[in-house]
């Protein structure tokens, strides 16, 4: 097959190039130029593009660069800023995967006549009757099914995850045997457009107004102030200027009222969480899992917690529906998840993706 491989300059996509080549595919590597601003972190630096190009030379495949910076700004950077303006905590890596690493790249791959698009994600695609579904990668510690949970239908039939069935140690060993320059390269951990010097505050401060806010307790008594309410996150404990004493956590953030409320850890707990902007890549819609017990993951490598799915009005909530919601009722109270964060649902074996959505109400 003729395969278009997304190469980020990391070891996973580098090893994927070797796997695909050795399996006899006609492979072309492509690096997506996404962020046009300054960057010294994440997966969009100039050195990463160079690493991808050099690895492609080592493996003996062609290498292309696609400039998707306008799409990245429209679908990732702009919404990231808007979310902070509105007091929510976004997950830009999810939106990058949704809109760029898959939707945009898949469309370009099809336009150019490729038979498949491949990436270095640690996830797997499994047949289920007459359909396909996303399942966790073989290496649970490196599993990335959370960030590709939205893939479904025809897209899953077009996507390949060559290293999804491998342990990370096997990936590095393969890259080392092939003599690839990325074999020992550390994994990227940071948001690519947030530089290490200016940080999140510097980045957002150059693109939006930041406002001070009062820090108050549950009774409304003022305890102090923060410089930028837009930078405060539910559950935050540090950076509030409250000094020592009892541990206090952010339990509510109101950008409109310029107020941050703090309390003890118990005040962070909730009985459930409400999700919007839903994706149901396998179930089709929420009614298929109405009343079902699921395992819920609220961050890329977070713990899973048991919950029951409730469709508030009993209506079907179609795939990628922005106007519908579901509620997850925890089997036992859990810490609230910040509005704007992505939650992914798995079956009770903790293997297969069922769906996901974005937190609209953490209570």
**Nearby residues of 67 by Cβ (< 8 Å), 6 or more positions away:** 33
- CA Rg, the chain, in Å? 21
Q: Is 96 a catalytic residue?
A: yes
Task: Give 322's pLDDT tier (boundaries 50, 70, 90).
Answer: very low
pLDDT at 207 over 50: yes
The reported pTM is: 0.91
Give the CA distances from residue 258 to residues 152, 227, 267, 278, in Å, rounded to whole numbers and listed in that order. 41, 10, 20, 30
- The phi, psi pair for 152, rounded to 5°, reads -155, 170
Tens of pLDDT along 347-359?
Answer: 999 999 999 999 9
**Residue 298 falls within a domain, yes or no?**
yes
Question: In the beta sheet, which residues pair with residue 159?
Answer: 117
- Same-domain status, 116 and 153: yes
Tens of pLDDT along 244-296?
Answer: 677 899 999 999 999 999 999 999 999 999 999 998 886 666 777 889 999 99
- Same-domain status, 28 and 134: yes
- Same-domain status, 73 and 139: yes
- Same-domain status, 331 and 216: no
Tens of pLDDT along 166-187?
Answer: 999 999 999 999 999 999 999 8
Report the alpha-carbon distance of residue 190 to residue 79 in Å, rounded: 18
Domain boundary among 124, 158, 177: 177
Please choose, from the candidates 219, 227, 228, 357, the residue with its C-alpha nearest in 3D space to the C-alpha of residue 294.
357
Number of domains in the chain: 3
Instruction: Give the pairing type, strands 304-310 and 26-33.
Output: unpaired
Task: Give 316's pLDDT tier (boundaries 50, 70, 90).
Answer: very low
**Residue 183 falls within a domain, yes or no?**
no
Task: Give 195's pLDDT tier (boundaries 50, 70, 90).
Answer: confident
11-22 vs 46-59: helix crossing angle, rounded to 10: 20
- Same-domain status, 276 and 350: yes
The pLDDT of 96-111, averaged and rounded, is 95
- Same-domain status, 118 and 234: no
Is residue 213 within 8 Å of residue 225, measured between CB atoms? Answer: yes
pLDDT at 323 over 70: no
- Same-domain status, 135 and 31: yes
pLDDT at 160 over 50: yes
* Residue 221, domain CATH: 2.30.30.280
**Residue 190 falls within a domain, yes or no?**
no
- Same-domain status, 7 and 111: yes
Which is the catalytic residue, given 43, 44, 93, 192?
192
CB atoms within 10 A of CB 23: 12
The pLDDT of 17-27, averaged and rounded, is 98
**Residue 203 falls within a domain, yes or no?**
no
Report the alpha-carbon distance of residue 5 to residue 116 in Å, rounded: 9
Task: Name the 3-class secondary structure at 157.
Answer: helix
H helices then E strands: how many in the chain?
9, 17
Structure tokens at 338: 């910040």
Domain boundary among 246, 263, 280: 263
- Same-domain status, 23 and 158: yes
**Residue 320 falls within a domain, yes or no?**
yes
* DSSP structure string for 13-80: HHHHHHHHHHTT-EEEEEEEE---S--SSTT-SHHHHHHHHHHHHHHT-EEEEEE-HHHHIIIIIHHH
Domain boundary among 177, 199, 224: 177
- Same-domain status, 27 and 134: yes
* Residue 329, domain CATH: 2.40.30.10
Is residue 144 within 8 Å of residue 137, measured between CB atoms? Answer: yes
**Nearby residues of 29 by Cβ (< 8 Å), 6 or more positions away:** 5, 7, 13, 17, 52, 55, 56, 59, 61, 62, 63, 64
Strands (E), 244-362: 249-254, 259-263, 269-279, 293-297, 304-310, 326-335, 342-346, 353-361
Which is the catalytic residue, given 43, 44, 93, 96?
96
- Same-domain status, 82 and 37: yes
Is residue 133 within 8 Å of residue 156, measured between CB atoms? Answer: yes
**Residue 29 falls within a domain, yes or no?**
yes
pLDDT at 295: 97
Query: Domain containing 94: what range?
Result: 2-177
* Residue 171, domain CATH: 3.40.50.620
- Same-domain status, 9 and 148: yes
**Residue 186 falls within a domain, yes or no?**
no
Q: Which of 3-12, 44-53, 55-64, 123-132 has the lowest mean pLDDT?
A: 44-53
pLDDT at 66 over 80: yes
The pLDDT mean for the chain works out to: 91
């Amino acid at each position: 097959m003729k395969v278009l491989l997304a190469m980020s300059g990391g070891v996973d996509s580098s090893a994927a190039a070797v796997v695909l080549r050795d399996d006899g595919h006609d492979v072309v590597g492509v690096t997506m130029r996404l962020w046009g601003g300054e960057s010294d972190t994440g997966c969009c630096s100039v050195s990463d593009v160079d690493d991808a190009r050099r690895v492609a030379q080592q493996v003996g495949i062609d290498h292309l660069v696609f400039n998707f910076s306008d799409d990245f700004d429209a679908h990732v950077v702009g919404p990231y800023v808007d979310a902070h303006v509105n007091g929510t905590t976004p997950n830009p890596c999810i939106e990058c995967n949704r809109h760029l690493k898959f939707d945009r790249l898949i469309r370009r791959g099809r336009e150019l006549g490729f038979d498949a698009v491949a990436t270095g994600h640690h996830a797997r695609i499994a047949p289920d009757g007459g359909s396909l579904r996303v399942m966790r990668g073989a290496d649970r510690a490196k599993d990335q099914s959370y960030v590709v949970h939205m893939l479904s239908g025809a897209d899953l039939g077009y996507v390949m995850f060559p290293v999804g069935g491998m342990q990370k140690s096997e990936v590095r060993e393969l890259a080392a045997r092939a003599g690839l320059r990325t074999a020992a390269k550390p994994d990227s951990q940071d948001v690519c457009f947030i530089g290490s010097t200016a940080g999140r505050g510097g980045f957002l401060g150059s693109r939006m107004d930041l406002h001070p806010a009062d820090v108050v307790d549950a009774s409304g008594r003022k305890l102090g102030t923060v410089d930028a309410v837009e930078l405060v996150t539910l559950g935050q404990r540090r950076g509030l200027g409250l000094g020592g004493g009892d541990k206090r956590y952010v339990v509510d953030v109101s950008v409109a009222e310029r107020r941050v409320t703090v309390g003890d850890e118990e005040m962070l707990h909730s009985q459930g969480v409400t999700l919007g902007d839903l994706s149901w890549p396998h179930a089709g819609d929420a009614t298929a899992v109405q009343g079902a017990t699921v395992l819920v993951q609220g961050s890329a490598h977070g713990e899973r917690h048991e919950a029951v799915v409730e469709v508030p009005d009993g209506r079907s909530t179609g795939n990628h529906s922005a106007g519908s919601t579901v509620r997850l009722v925890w089997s036992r109270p859990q810490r609230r998840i910040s509005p704007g964060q992505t939650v992914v649902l798995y079956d009770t074996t903790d293997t297969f993706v069922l769906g996901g959505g974005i937190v609209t109400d953490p209570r």
